[in-house]
Amino acid sequence: MLQQYAGHLNSIRWRRWFARPFYEVMSDAIVWTGETNKVTPVRLIWALRPVFHYRTGLILGEQRRFPDEWQLGLKLFPRWVGFHPSHCRPSPRLAEIYRVGKAALQRDLEKLDNNLNA
């Protein structure tokens, strides 16, 4: 999938002023709104999840799974905005966005569990 859409991802190369990072549950990662566009296939977004997950490890300063997928992405679509240095280096601000998002997910799951078991 990543190979099939490498050209599409390379075409998403400019950071947008309005793009914002957010916690993405399915990847357990930080993702920016401008890293895909309205024509990006959903199946490609699913295929990018390991790349998002690994990159978040770089942001948090921790080792994470999927280094091979990260390297494949760097090789196939090196111009993609998701590889911009500001998206890939340790950042206390981005780490906080990650932690707040993950904590909110945990709270929501606990509430759901409590409601189901009530």
- 56-81, pLDDT tens digit by residue? 999 999 999 999 999 999 999 999 99
pTM for the model stands at 0.93
Mean pLDDT of the chain: 95
Contacts of 67 (CB under 8 A, 6+ apart): 54
pLDDT, tens digit, for every residue of 17-29?
889 999 999 999 9
Contact of 81 with 15, CB cutoff 8 Å: yes
Q: Which of 52, 47, 53, 51 is nearest to 4 (CA)?
A: 47
